[in-house]
Amino acid sequence: MVAQRVEDAQVVGVEIDVPAAHQAAENCAASPFAGRLSVVCTDIANYEDDGKFDCILSNPPFFEESLLPPDARRAAARHTQGLTGKCLIVNAKRLMRPGALFHVILPSLSKDGFVGQCALQGLSLRKQTEVVTREGKTPKRVLLSFVNDVAPQRPLRDTLVLLDRYSNNRSEAYATLTKDFYL
């Protein structure tokens, strides 16, 4: 999706799970953007790169206090035992250039602690988008955008409503945001 939206982006996916990394590599190879995509199978804490990134995107595991599923791969993908927020933040910071962006999606309840940990690492909140299923509902997810080594300013705040108020159709805003990714 990044390669589709940003014409000159060189995209590196970092995935710790071997089967997931192989599947991602196959998907990348079949993409019209294959020349600008690569997948590295490693733990983010062990990932090394000669340069620094302009942007890091993460959809990390975010279940913290729930019962682990019996499948170890599923547990690692969904629960923070394998990748804590602090580990993600420290390694994102390590891999970022000054002024680079760090985007993450989290449960709303995790937001305050995550934002605080980012501030300790010199990552300033730039934008916060609360994600709600329907207008008037409590946000369950939040999209956060941070900037590296830039003095904090008042972050932009908005809300993304996923479903139309009266039907199960995508809201106009959500449909517009994702239209380029559906056939």
pLDDT per residue over 127-162, tens digit each? 999 999 999 899 999 999 999 999 989 999 999 999
Q: Give the Cβ contact number of residue 53 at 10 Å.
A: 17
Alpha-carbon distance 128 to 136, whole Å?
18
Backbone torsions φ then ψ of 142, nearest 5 degrees: -140, 135
C-alpha dihedral, 63 to 66 to 70 to 71, nearest 10°: 0
**116 near 145, Cβ under 8 Å?**
no
Alpha-carbon distance 183 to 141, whole Å?
26
Model-level pTM greater than 0.95? no
Which amino acid is residue 90, in one-letter code? V
Whole-number percent of the chain with pLDDT over 70: 88
Report whether pLDDT(74) > 90. no
